[in-house]
Amino acid sequence: MSIQWFPGHMHLTRKAIGERVKTIDVVIEMVDARLPASSANPMLRELLQHKPNLKVLNKADLADPERTQQWLQWYGQQQQTRAVAMDSHHSAPARALIEACQALAPGRGSMDKPMRVLICGIPNVGKSTLINTMVGKRAAKAANEPGVTRREQRFALQDGFYLFDTPGVLWPRIIVAQSGYNLAAAGSIGRNAFDDELVALELLAYLQRHYAALLLARYAVAPSADALAQLPDHALLEAIGRQRGALLPGGRVNAQKTAEIILQDFRSGAIGRVTIETPAEFQAWQATGERL
């Protein structure tokens, strides 16, 4: 079973980005450092038309630092691409972005040749947070609610340096089955597109293989990390539910509630700094996995 997700209005966003990109010098694509490939939208590559590209692995504070280095190296091999990892709440790395843009588009950034930077990324990846950090006031999210004027799309950062927010909503596009699970685990696709329990079981199985010690530290449901890694995923979910008191009347474990706890713990970083895909794994999924 895989996650099916067909959001509407993609063609409008495609058109809007295609138009906007014509006058853009550098495109910043923000991805989630815990799932960099799955949180990218492959449509962007085709729309960017050789524009210099800066990948921002955001939420790096929640990701596994060693794996973040692997991803940075991997992106570094692509042409006209630079990659940085950051926590967009902090302004120091945000300033590093300005320098990276200047390196990608030398000669731009003056009054007569302004630098125009487009920030793209799927919902919730941290675009508004980054813009707020860079622009230095609560600029971006102001108008994301119904009835409020359309949110501002262009921000002057300094003289001759402009940031543009994604025009429209760039939904994720799932091309391999595992990406669906990873996006769901991160909370990046609508809740009614997936089953919490199934997604939590997939996540647990992955974390058992790669982060058993962190699971043990969070949930202490086995005598050792090795023993925890050996548990069947259903048994692990049940043990976590019991330990956290997620029980139904009569004492059975409430699997739905337990799944919500596990997903929430992953999203908030309570399980620790984990990254749920590597460049090699993603390439393998593309080569051999179920394609959607």
How far apart CA 78 and CA 196 sit, in angstroms, is 36
Q: Are 65 and 57 in contact (CB under 8 A)?
A: no
Q: Which stretch binds ligand GDP (CB under 6 A): 21-29, 64-72, 87-95, 209-217?
A: 87-95
Please give the single-letter amino acid code of residue 255: A
How far apart CA 30 and CA 127 sit, in angstroms, is 7
Q: Which among 170, 173, 65, 67 is positioned nearest to 127, based on CA atoms? A: 170
Q: Which is nearer to ligand GDP, 140 or 261 (CB)?
A: 140
Q: Is 129 in the site for ligand GDP (CB under 6 A)?
A: yes
Which token pair is 58? 């955001």
Please give the single-letter amino acid code of residue 70: Q
How far apart CA 271 and CA 214 sit, in angstroms, is 6
Q: Which is nearer to ligand GDP, 129 or 278 (CB)?
A: 129
How far apart CA 150 and CA 59 sit, in angstroms, is 26
User: Site residues for ligand GDP, window 264-283 (CB under 6 A)?
Assistant: none
Q: Are 119 and 126 in contact (CB under 8 A)?
A: no
Length of the chain counted residue by residue: 292
Q: Which stretch binds ligand GDP (CB under 6 A): 105-113, 124-132, 150-158, 177-185?
A: 124-132
Q: Is 87 in the site for ligand GDP (CB under 6 A)?
A: yes
**Interface pick for ligand GDP out of 18, 114, 123, 279 (rule CB under 6 A):** 123
- Least separation in angstroms between CB 66 and ligand GDP: 18
Q: Are 53 and 80 in contact (CB under 8 A)?
A: yes
Task: Using CB under 6 A, count the residues that bind ligand GDP.
Answer: 16
User: Site residues for ligand GDP, window 102-121 (CB under 6 A)?
Assistant: 121
Q: Which among 50, 46, 115 is positioned nearest to 79, based on CA atoms? A: 50
Q: Which stretch binds ligand GDP (CB under 6 A): 53-61, 74-82, 211-219, 220-228?
A: 53-61
Per-residue x/- track, 58-77, ligand GDP (CB under 6 A): xx-xx---------------
Q: Which stretch binds ligand GDP (CB under 6 A): 82-90, 147-155, 234-242, 280-288?
A: 82-90
Query: Measured at CB, which residue is nearest to ligand GDP?
Result: 126
- Least separation in angstroms between CB 44 and ligand GDP: 14
Please give the single-letter amino acid code of residue 237: L
Q: Which stretch binds ligand GDP (CB under 6 A): 69-77, 85-93, 239-247, 270-278?
A: 85-93
> By the criterion CB under 6 A, which residues form the site for ligand GDP?
58-59, 61-62, 87-89, 121, 123-129, 141
